Amino acid sequence: MGIIFLQTIAQFIIFVEHFSDGKQFLKTYNMANNELRINDHYQTIIGEFPKVGIRPAIDGRMNGVRESLEDQTMKMAKIAASLISSNLKYPNGKSVECIISDTCIGGVAEAAMSAEKFRKNGVGVSLTVTPCWCYGSETIDMDTDMPKAIWGFNGTERPGAVYLAAALAGHTMKGLPAFGIYGHNVQDSGDQIIPDDVSEKMLRFVKAALAASYMKGKSYLSMGSVSMGIAGSIVKEDFFQEYLGMRNEYIDLSEFNRRINEEIFDKEEYKKALEWTKKNCKEGKDLNTKPKTRKQKDAEWETVVKMAIIARDLMVGNPKLKKLGFGEEALGHNAILSGFQGQRQWTDHMPNGDFLEAILCSSFDWNGIRPPYLVATENDAMNGVPMLFGYLLTNTAQMFSDIRTYWSPDAIKRVTKIKPTGLASNGVIHLINSGASALDFSGRQTKKGKSCIKPFWEITGKDAAECLAATQWPAADRGYFRGGGFSSQFDTKGIMPATISRVNLVKGLGPVLQLAEGFTVELPEKMNKILTDRTNPTWPTTWFAPRLTGKGAFADVYSVMANWGANHCSSSYGHIGADLITLASVLRIPVCMHNVDENKIFRPSAWSAFGMEKEGADYRACQTYGPVYK
């Protein structure tokens, strides 16, 4: 036995050379400090991020009135821009950019000048601000597609709130819904502090509006077709085109075979990826009755690594392919979201897509730490959509799962002989997938000692290393996957705030969004093992406890499960239900199920004209206005 001292800038590490735990620790140390770093050269989709256009509206009467308000009005625009840019980031980690109109807007000519500037500068979100009365229909933003809001300053000297009400009435009458932002408390005219309630609404609107604007014009790529008759994998182009402004692209899974057989991939990257995978992706136990040989498994590892590279290239392209003589393949499909059919036509004779889906959906790979590439298991596009929503609202990896089993407290105690306590005391929902969950959801990233999931630019090498160390890759269950492959397996650690969501299509109604906020739960080790072994010990497990309200779909945990509209859900880190509801209203998608506090719900002001009960009003407003892009 020997002692090795490893010195870094920050610390000494003592390593016991001959103990297996020590070897694993050294491996983690090396990965954290020498290998996984931020990759600034990741391939991504085409298109700039939309900017936020800020329109300072003013009373147009010159020779006294307008001049007295110019400074105050423009300052409102500047502090709004500062708030937005200092609090919100694009998916690449850079601060959200704001474009302010060159002049205050006192009438239609200046409104047109502002619109032209916004058009030239890639503005995708409109925010009007004013401390005073302005000429309503002459100054409002008339763009038919762009999400819009108005902040009317709550002061007594000038009637900013009066303009807000008049302008919103104009928006409602013209069928151009806008969000109204108005502070709870009266402020002094010179006050340049944005109150917390105004700030919360403004940031919620901008976050949702940016998400809606950014997805427009991008693609959903179906890799394969319908999987096992799953309704969500029957891709509905009308929904993507009319509600999201997206296009649909398709490839047959034979394209994977073609690219593998004809070596249409970057061979240097493949060599690097395979070496990294062998080093960092621990192969788990093979529970199949007749395990494959080492030679067969090595060949399958080679195939699944190629599949991951090919899927990414299909989504976003790869300029290196052009240098190899594959100019068309180098372009990709500009897919912000994709789905992989897998079962069964592919997985009955080829290694499964679990490695592909898990690695691409994670925030790191052999090239370093980078944004996730969103891939929906089984090509369930309607579960991929909330993955996209959650990603654009949080900038973090999303988890695709079966919403598999409700375990009641009595059932848990009967099976494990242990009574569940804490967050699990009312029962839990088993979120599990066929080995394709983002490794970020292992819960090994930490902030102040607590489990979390970070945007990629905050993830450290140690965070990524811990996620990899916590994940095993057992041989795929060949009862499900005859062609073999490997499934990711981890147990989510710690208590993390989480939101599960799903979009369902209802004939005669259209799309509806459902969501549930709650927490991940770390069950006692013995209890966890007994329960997961009953389902599938080769798949990743996350236990979810929804926040209950005592009524309706949230009367108890069983009711949450019973009211879920499909077999899959998307999980996002954090309680983002209010943001999802705002985004849904921008896209005219009603919300059928949620447990968000009513005072956090923020929708366009026109929704209040459709009745006092918020849920019914949401349905009626969405039906009346219809899809944004129809």
378 is catalytic: yes
DSSP three-state, residue 306: helix
Number of neighbours of residue 319 by Cβ within 10 angstroms: 12
List Cβ neighbours of 1 (8 Å cut-off, separation of 6 or more): 16, 17, 18
Supply the DSSP symbol for 27: H
Q: Which of 266, 313, 357, 402 is catalytic?
A: 402
CB 198, CB 181: distance < 8 Å:
yes
Q: Which of 378, 440, 463, 579 is catalytic?
A: 378
> Alpha-carbon distance 27 to 278, whole Å?
13
Beta strand ranges found along 372-443 (DSSP E): 375-377, 399-407, 428-432
**Residue 27 Cα distances to 116, 271, 362, angstroms:** 56, 20, 20
402 is catalytic: yes
52 strand-pairing partners: 98, 125
Least Cα distance to 500 among 428, 590, 598 occurs for: 428
> Alpha-carbon distance 168 to 149, whole Å?
9
DSSP three-state, residue 144: coil
> Alpha-carbon distance 68 to 121, whole Å?
29
Beta strand ranges found along 347-387 (DSSP E): 364-365, 368-369, 375-377
Burial class (CB in 10 A: 0-12, 13-18, 19+), 580: buried
* Dihedral sign (CA 35, 41, 44, 48): positive
446 strand-pairing partners: 451
Least Cα distance to 373 among 214, 221, 538, 217 occurs for: 221
Cα atoms in the 13 Å half-sphere on the side-chain side of 257: 10
> Alpha-carbon distance 163 to 161, whole Å?
5
Tokens of 227: 């999987």
Reported residue count of the chain is 630
List Cβ neighbours of 349 (8 Å cut-off, separation of 6 or more): 482, 483
| 23-30 contacts, C-beta under 8 A, 24 or more apart | 24/469, 27/469, 28/462, 28/465, 28/466, 28/469
**Residue 165 Cα distances to 156, 192, 194, angstroms:** 15, 22, 20
Query: Token match 């002094």: residue?
Result: 188
Strands 51-56 and 123-130, by their bridges, are parallel
Least Cα distance to 207 among 584, 579, 619, 546 occurs for: 579
CA angle in degrees (0–180, nearest 5) for 588-590-593: 155
Residues marked active site are found at: 378, 402
